[in-house]
Amino acid sequence: MNPLNKSLIIGGLFIYCFAVSLSTTAQNNEKRIIQFSGVVVTGDSLKPVPFTNITVTGTRHATVSDYYGFFSFAAEEGTDITFSAVGFKKAHFTIPDTCHENRYSMIQILFLDTVMLKEAVIYPWPTREQFRQAFLNLDNKNDDMARAQKNLAKEEMELISMNMGMSSQENYKMGMQQYQTRMYYTGGKPPLTLMDPLKWAEFVKAWKRGDFKSKD
């Protein structure tokens, strides 16, 4: 055989083997796309965690689990996945690169996370200056008796004045009767006071005092 032809044949075989080697290496390094699915549950009760954020770590590719914690999306083998949900600690999972099928399923457990919030102080005024101005303009001229008189209803004041000469037991009884009567007729029109026991008691006391005697 001609030495030149022999060299060409050997060179061609070398190039062919090198090309086959590169193709095999590229196929081995190429990551397969698989269907990655699963369910996200809590670590204490294994209840589903709805609307969990499932993100391909370091990218913007993401999805969200449904109400039952289920998720499913296409991903490459060897991809790192991050699971995050409000009130739970983040979790990471790497899809194995040794999958024998075109799909991979899993159950991801998330554990509760306690978040300590900073102290929030609520003030009735937005600024200290407004608080100072409101404090300086505070009207505090009324004494305790004046404020009590304003808070008491006119009817209650009349009852107190009428019962000044009665015993504590009688005062309590009449006060409860008036309270029950007021609650009974709440939302409606009260009857005429002709049969009101309080008014009759006041009339009897006035009659005993001689308020209706002639002054001639």
Query: Could you tell me which residues come within 8 angstroms of residue 37 by beta carbon, excluding any fewer than 6 positions away?
Result: 70, 71, 72, 73, 103, 104, 105, 106
Express each pLDDT in 101-136 by its tens digit: 888 999 999 999 887 888 887 777 778 888 888 878
Distances (CA, A) of 46 to 107, 108, 113, 118, 169: 10, 10, 15, 31, 63
Lowest mean pLDDT among 71-75, 86-90, 168-172, 176-180: 168-172
Express each pLDDT in 20-45 by its tens digit: 454 444 444 567 888 999 999 998 88
Full set of structural domains in the chain with CATH: 31-110 (2.60.40.1120), 128-200 (no CATH)
Handedness of CA 160, 166, 172, 178 (dihedral sign): negative
pLDDT at 47: 93
Neighbour count for residue 68 (Cβ, 10 Å):
13
The single-letter DSSP state of residue 160 is H
Give the residue, 41 or 61, on which the prediction is more confident. Answer: 41
Question: What residues pair up with 35 in beta bridges, in sequence order?
Answer: 74, 103
- Can you tell me the distance from the alpha carbon of 53 to that of 45, in angstroms, rounded to the nearest whole number? 20
